[in-house]
A and B are shown apart, each in its own frame.
Chain A
Amino acid sequence: MNCDEVAGLEENYLLGDLKGEEMREFERHLKACLICAKRLSGYQEVLGLMFGAIKPVAPAPHVRNAVLERVDDLPQSPVVTLERRRPSKNTWSGWGRVLSPVAAMLVVGLTVATVFLSFQLQQVKTEQAQMQQVLDLTSSPGSWIWPLTQPDVPFDATAPRARMYARPDSSLYLLTATQLQPPPEGQVYRAWYIMNATVDYLGDVQPDQKGNAFLQVPTTGHQAAYITGCFITKEKAGSPPDQPTGPKFLAWKKN
């Protein structure tokens, strides 16, 4: 699901109308795409606010009574009734031997399913924690935001650019880029940072179809304060990311 499709479905999502795979795809996209997550959050907030600010006009009193009368016997959600037939003693004794192995297999199946679901739940929790880290990093006033631009090129709103987010106490570096053309055949965009006069590899930057890229890099050192520059180069695809060889395509340098 892409950003346009997500934008087209956001009201259905808000209403709870999305089901099954569509819902999963929508939520998967939201987890991966900060732009859509932020837009949706802002969208619902503004609409809620505007609705709250409407000047009320009192309806006729009979409408309230009519509503309460109509809902009096109305079910609130689809109710599924399971009718269970109690098996007769004779039937059970006849089927018992067949059903026992089936029951055993069911128990095994349920155990496997439980383990699988626990694993899935753990994954979701991990993803949520990562998402929270990203949000903290991008929204905290204590974060540094370093703009990477094309060196020696006058400002152009349509030119490729990137941002690196870092914070002294965060265990994450984040790099976002926009308006990136796909790299030339056989090449990749590669991000680097400079710390204590040493260049280190940050990660490969892979633009999507719209030219946006998003790179999260976990870090353990809490040494963001020592970063004095970061840049993106074009490198040969598949080459070891030891040292940059290409010219700086986008760069930021501490003054």
Chain B
Amino acid sequence: MDSISAINSQEQQAIEELVKRVRLGDTQALGALYDRYAGRVYAFLLRAVQRELAEELLQDVFVALWQKVYLYDPQRGSFNAWFFTLVRHRLYDALPKYQKHQSEDLLSVPGVVESVAELAGDRSDLEDQVLRLFRDEELRRAVNHLPPDQRQTIMMTYFGGLSHRELAEKLNLPVSTIKGRARLGLQRLRQLLPEQS
């Protein structure tokens, strides 16, 4: 089984090298980064939008990576964190345009579950579905140990395709409450997850 520490320091170094080459305009390096990340980005996008739109967004995300890689600063955080934040922001920017609530049956795609809009009626079921996004048992266990409100917030806002505002509206709570829950949830997760090498 894959460990949560699968991306070890060697892998990190390889990624940093690729990022440096992409900064210098090396399209082959971009291709190599695509090969490493596209599957995860695509899986993440499929949580929120249809397959066709996910493919379109997947392209946009890697074009944005090409254009904005000069903004990545390893002193501020890992490439994974920077890139995932970029992906999420691209998704949130695109959602209104792509009319995310248009949904189609995505179950035909392996590993993919229903869209957020279809599952919004059943919160706990949706959280379970989002949890299945992760291949790592250790991570799933850690997420399950979170208090329910924090777990729901993290699953829905970071991985379920909802913005903080949207979840706040759905639950009829202030946005600040949702942000606070997300912050506390991530802090708690940090304590529950093992140290990275």
Contact = CB atoms under 8 A, between A and B. Distances in A.
A57 B109 contact: yes
A46 B81 CA distance: 8
Q: Is the interface of A mostly helix, strand, loop or mixed?
A: helix
A63 interface: yes
Given A7-B179, A64-B34, A46 B189 contact: yes
B178 to A, nearest CB: 13
Interface residues of B, number: 65
A70 B59 CA distance: 9
Contacts of B135: 53-55
B70 A58 contact: no
B150 to A, nearest CB: 12
B100 to A, nearest CB: 18
Contact of B42 (A46, A50, A59, A76): A59
Contacts of A76: 23, 25, 66-67, 69-70
A45 B58 contact: no
A53 B186 CA distance: 15
A59 B38 contact: yes
B44 A54 contact: yes
Contact of B27 (A45, A55, A68): A68
Contacts of B111: 55, 57
B43 A49 contact: no
A15 B183 contact: no
Tell which of A39, A40, A59, A63 has the most Cβ of chain B within 10 Å: A59
Given A13-B76, A63-B38, A74-B66, A54 B85 contact: no
Contact of B46 (A11, A45, A47, A57): A57
Contacts of B189: 46, 50
Contact of A53 (B4, B23, B54, B183): B4
Contacts of A118: none
B81 A77 contact: no
18 contacts: A11-B89, A13-B76, A14-B82, A15-B68, A16-B68, A39-B183, A39-B187, A51-B40, A53-B4, A54-B43, A55-B132, A57-B109, A59-B42, A67-B34, A68-B30, A71-B27, A71-B30, A74-B63
